[in-house]
Structure 1
């Protein structure tokens, strides 16, 4: 019963060594930005402090511009887990869509309160 799982895991290991895996994250929001400083990713996410995440030995982080994070590595599971941990720092909120999202991720938006004068 584990044949399919094993086959897929081995296939992912081979593909990871040959091509590598990558996840792209987008940071959206006024004043939200990311920068790479040495081996650390410094994220300004609207908190009173910067959020700092360090690279693992298996994972490389790139920040090509202030609103994009690219995570690369050879282990598909570790790349996905690391991307999820970064997204968890400020997940996208449903009203304005601010936060960290996967590239191409669709956020279901909500309407705000009705209000009196509107």
Structure 2
């Protein structure tokens, strides 16, 4: 039995959740998101609570149960508050700036790296060494932040690179004479 799947999802005021068959749509102040429930899971709307139950008690139904409940809870969180990931650039000469909808970064390569923000995602560079990725879709925000980090991952000897805010980079000892 899924402990997460058993819990009903609370729908706060200002958020409307509609269900048409297996398609669940959530609309709030920041936008609208939708998710299609798998065939092995069903959802039920009761007032201001949404419950997810497995249709078939086999492995696929039980494995999708908690995931579907979490996806709907994340959609509700996204349309009310949104999601945000902060990245920091560490290294001499490493900087980022916004040029319209494009993030331009200097990461120690011979060329600048330009990254276009995907639809539904906003990227900001308030400081030259800070990048903020925000949006209503948790998966899209995390994926975009991971793509930006992938351009220059933090290396273990000097710690230079793009890292998440507060990320600990394990340092290695350099060569000895």
Q: TM-score, normalised by structure 2?
A: 0.64
Structure 1 residue 3: deviation in Å? Answer: 1.5
**Higher RCO (CA 8 Å, separation ≥ 6 residues):** 1
User: Could you say what secondary structure the match of 1:82 adopts?
Assistant: helix
User: Could you say what secondary structure the match of 1:24 adopts?
Assistant: strand
Is 1:92–2:154 an aligned residue pair? yes
Could you tell me which runs of 5 or more consecutive residues in structure 2 were left unpaired when the two chains were aligned.
Answer: 1-61
RMSD: 0.5
Aligned equivalent of 2:97: 35
Aligned equivalent of 1:6: 68
Aligned equivalent of 1:75: 137
Give the strand-richer structure, 1 or 2.
2
Structure 1 residue 76: deviation in Å? Answer: 0.4
Structure 1 residue 56: deviation in Å? Answer: 1.1
Is 1:105–2:173 an aligned residue pair? no
**Count of residue correspondences:** 115
Q: TM-score, normalised by structure 1?
A: 0.96
Aligned equivalent of 2:117: 55
Q: Distance in 1 between matches of 2:68 and 2:153?
A: 32
Structure 1 residue 58: deviation in Å? Answer: 1.1
Q: Distance in 1 between matches of 2:150 and 2:119?
A: 21
Could you tell me which runs of 5 or more consecutive residues in structure 1 were left unpaired when the two chains were aligned.
Answer: none
Q: Flag the structure with larger Rg.
A: 2
Q: Distance in 2 between matches of 1:67 and 1:78?
A: 22
